[in-house]
Chains A and B, each alone.
Chain A
Amino acid sequence: MRIEPALLSYASLACLALSTHRLRRDAAFARLPTVATMRAFAVVLLILAAWRAVHDFGPYQGPVAFIGMVSIAGLPLVLLLSRWPRGALVTGLGASAVALGMLIPLG
């Protein structure tokens, strides 16, 4: 199931969301890394997602898959953030762990 780009995008968007000031005021996120660190994580994960999409879907379908999967990853994240912000952080970490785990066999 070539869904690693979607998982990586989800993790990236979760980092990006947790670098916004409105969410960081929430006590649940008191001990997060700094805004700059979260943004750097987000960018790295997004680049990984783009690379993985091109790797999995080829140079022509890859960009289509990347843009589509970033968009699709955003919707459950927003729904989760609106109801259970802490869950967004947990699933974001989970998604990045699973996706990075899937990358290992590739080397």
Chain B
Amino acid sequence: MSKAASNETPGVRQSMAWIHGWLGLLAGWILFAMFLTGTASYFRPEITRWMQPEIDLHPVTAATAADTAVAHLQKVAPTAEQWFITLPDARTTATRIFIRERPNPDPNAKPAPRRPERRLDPATGEEVTARDTRGGEHFYRFHFQLQIPHPWGRWLAGLCAMAMLAAIISGVITHKRIFVDFFTLRWSKGQRSWLDAHNVSAVIALPFHAMITYTGLITLVAMYMPWPIQANYKDPATFETAVFGAEPDAEASGRLAALTPVAPLIAKASEEWAGGRPATMVVRNPNDATATVTLYQSAKDRLNARGRSIVFSGVDGRRLSASPPPDPAAETSGVMLGLHMGSFAGPVLRLTYFLLGLAGTAMVGTGLMLWTVKRKRPGAAPFFGIRLAERLNVGAIACLPAGMAAFLLANRLLPVTLPARGDVEVSIMFWTWFGLAALACVRPIRRAWTETLAIAAVAFLALPLVNALTTDRGLIRSVVSGDWLFVAFDLAMLATGALLGFGAWRAAQISSRSARKRRAAERPVNPLREAADAH
């Protein structure tokens, strides 16, 4: 392209760079939070287990867990309308049950209060109680709902994901030297270093970033683009039946009939799924002549996150129906959901997912830093937009980790019997996050970086200590007893703290270096010395 032409109309690369910069900035702060909490969500059941240290159960087979759960439900709710039983697996050790009561036939009666979900020891069927907490579920929900009322949180998350997808494409077009700079990372060179770090974290893990953004959008595509379903199915329920199979909906007959043993049904389903195991069991109208038992397949051992289901008669154990075999479209969307959540992943693959998620977080973070560093002019006071972006960067990159650490600290430090304890933990996370971000605004920007990163580092480093003081599952005891979940959690907290501490140390170094430079520039020149130098 000739120089004259490039002056008149910006080339494709410049246009793409402009789009990349602005989309990245506007969606960046939310994307940073989505990436970080989403990455943490790869360990959702493990975080929940850490947050309820009272529960320390040992895994049993699905059949045993189902038997003990049914025995418990027969005692506490034999006439309920439905029992939902989520069976334990290697990662979630407790059986979870939820009871839906039969509605009162009297239309004027008050509806019965909703019973909360409960957890059982899968070996005995005894109810286990633990401190009230949202656990890892909180990070998972925040990742795509952003703690904003439905449906606005999901819409905002979707808009940010769309911006992310556009930023990935425009970023690839903008980046001139993808292969030449593949391994290039230069330290302590200001803007150059931020650009290198942004390029490296983006390019090396590019397949992951593209996959996770696209599949993330696809998980909620029926909400973002409802029109194809509306055009083809007048009633949304017909669509669900066509895709997932019909749910049994027989009314209770009122004739009593003993519930069939469930363990043989699990064996039958497992055989039909070629070794697949059930994740959830739903019993409708238990102990009635119309009782049914539906088994839903676990996604733990397959790429497709949407499992199949089989309905059995709850009286004689006959197989009544099953979900239709997924057609190519349903299979594709299920596999995309599976790829996004990584529910199929074993320990090694899950760790890979987690580290790739951290690379994505680093990509967004370095991109945000680059935006401000690039636009600052040395010597000139930054204009309002840059100062705002700088403050929001501190708020997202340094203060969100501090908030997440506060959430975990609150879990250990709040009294166990505090009412609405789970909600208080969540509020503490947001108060710490936004409070720290607001406080950081009154400090000079360099000091703000050092101080907030240092606070976040100290909070994470304190976690293993607080855990050891408030529970009987501290690091040393966990190592001795071989409690590897708690060992790994403590080590991960120490590593996170060390990383944030390194960040604080680098920020302090840069801060003192730029202060020295400023002082050197402001120092009055000694005329005598200048005269001597001239000779």
Contact = CB atoms under 8 A, between A and B. Distances in A.
A61 B343 CA distance: 12
B303 A71 contact: no
Contacts of A60: 302-303
A78 B355 CA distance: 15
A35 to B, nearest CB: 14
B207 A67 contact: yes
B366 interface: no
A10 to B, nearest CB: 12
A75 B344 CA distance: 24
Interface string A59-82: 011001101110110110111011
Contact of A78 (B185, B207, B345, B348): B185
Contact of A68 (B184, B201, B302, B352): B352
B344 A71 contact: no
Given A3-B348, A61-B349, A64-B339, A71 B185 contact: no
Contact of B185 (A3, A72, A81): A81
Interface residues of B, number: 26
A81 B183 CA distance: 8
Interface in A7-38: 13, 16-17, 20, 22-23
A68 B186 contact: no
B185 A65 contact: no
Contacts of B183: 13, 16-17, 20, 23, 74, 77-78, 81
A83 B187 contact: yes
A71 B183 CA distance: 12
Interface in B366-401: none
Interface string B348-365: 110011011001000000
B348 A75 contact: no
A82 B359 contact: no
A58 to B, nearest CB: 10
B338 to A, nearest CB: 10
A47 to B, nearest CB: 18
Residue among A3, A23, A74 with max Cβ neighbours from chain B (10 Å) = A74
A42 to B, nearest CB: 12
Interface of A: 1-3, 6, 13, 16-17, 20, 22-23, 57, 60-61, 64-65, 67-69, 71-72, 74-75, 77-79, 81-83
A72 B303 contact: no
B98 interface: no
Given A60-B303, A72-B352, A75-B205, 7 more contacts: A3-B348, A20-B180, A20-B183, A22-B184, A23-B183, A74-B205, A78-B184
Nearest to A71: B205
Contacts of B185: 78-79, 81-82
A57 B525 CA distance: 69
B208 A68 contact: yes
Residue among B183, B201, B303, B356 with max Cβ neighbours from chain A (10 Å) = B183
Residue among B184, B187, B359 with max Cβ neighbours from chain A (10 Å) = B184
Interface of B: 180, 182-187, 200-201, 204-208, 302-303, 339, 344-345, 348-349, 352-353, 355-356, 359
A105 B74 CA distance: 52
A59 to B, nearest CB: 10
B186 A82 contact: yes
Contact of B348 (A1, A20, A23): A1
A75 B200 contact: yes
B168 to A, nearest CB: 14
Nearest to B203: A74
Given A64-B339, A72-B355, A2 B204 contact: no
Contacts of B187: 82-83
B189 to A, nearest CB: 11
B201 A75 contact: yes
Residue among B182, B339, B349 with max Cβ neighbours from chain A (10 Å) = B349
Contacts of A83: 187
Contact of B303 (A6, A61, A74): A61
A90 B303 CA distance: 37
Contact of B352 (A16, A65, A77, A79): A65
Given A78-B183, A82-B185, A72 B349 contact: no
Contacts of B302: 60
A68 B353 CA distance: 7
Residue among B184, B201, B348 with max Cβ neighbours from chain A (10 Å) = B348
A61 B338 CA distance: 11
Nearest to A57: B349
B301 to A, nearest CB: 10
A64 B336 CA distance: 12
B200 to A, nearest CB: 5
12 contacts: A20-B182, A23-B183, A64-B303, A64-B349, A65-B348, A65-B349, A67-B208, A71-B356, A74-B200, A74-B205, A78-B183, A82-B185
A65 B200 CA distance: 20
Contacts of A69: 352
Contacts of B355: 72, 75
Residue among A22, A23, A65, A72 with max Cβ neighbours from chain B (10 Å) = A72
Nearest to A13: B183
